[in-house]
Amino acid sequence: MKTIGILGGMSWESTVPYYATINRAVRERLAGHHSAKILLYSVDFAEVEAMQHEDDWAGARDLMVEGAKRLERGGADFLILATNTMHRVYPGLAERTRLPILHIADCTADAIQASGLKTVGLLGTLSTMEQDFYRERLRSRRKIETVTPELEDREAIHRIIFEELVHGRLLDASRDRLHETIERLQDAGAQGVILGCTELPLLADPRRSPVQLFDTGVLHARKAAAVALGDEYL
């Protein structure tokens, strides 16, 4: 079994489900008392959040590189970034570590393609929804088109993530706003919706959604377990 290196803590609220999902996947596959071999480097999210807010992506990249090198020295065989937004620094990180990185958008794209969908909504932080790093990877690798919310909804989702979800606050009013946004994405042509922030599944209720929801954290974690077990390859 390969050792998974996790760059986590962005936020830790969503890193916890990663750890649980990976270990459950290994137990399902191997049974008995088996669990995953994992190294976790958890950052101080305040530092990362400040750099994102200041648009200091070079600094954010360097923080990820530092964590990756620690995981590399610790014996990790490959890396995952337990966050969607920080995949904005994926190219620079990949150039600065010898370890292969399992990209969260690729795992999500595989699931979308398997569902037969061509156009999906994308929810996440403002960076994820507005920049090209995520949408272009889906388009170029799987020919998947994305629909994003109108500005008011984008700002509301971003606020919910940073003011509530990263602090573990799950409010009914925010859940309602999230699902109203999902419905508007469906009206705009989305056949499914990517929960493109690993905190959003903490709030979303799939039973309320008129379209399929793609939990990026679960998809990423399960694929990482499959790679560790040799069932899939990077």
- Residue in the block written with tokens 């979800």: 165
Mention every residue, 6+ apart, whose C-beta is less than 8 A from residue 228.
1, 2, 3, 4, 22, 26, 36, 37, 77
Task: Determine the residue type at 156.
Answer: A
- Active-site residue, from 83, 85, 108, 198: 83
- Active-site residue, from 97, 107, 197, 198: 197
Other C-beta atoms closer than 10 Å to the C-beta of 187 total: 10
Is residue 66 within 8 A of residue 78, CB to CB? The reply is no
Six-digit token pair at 227?
Answer: 């790679």
Could you confirm whether 97 is annotated as catalytic? Answer: no
Q: How far apart are CA 197 and CA 120, in angstroms?
A: 15
Mention every residue, 6+ apart, whose C-beta is less than 8 A from residue 116.
none
Could you confirm whether 197 is annotated as catalytic? Answer: yes
N-terminal to C-terminal alpha carbon distance within the chain: 14
Residues identified as active-site: 83, 197
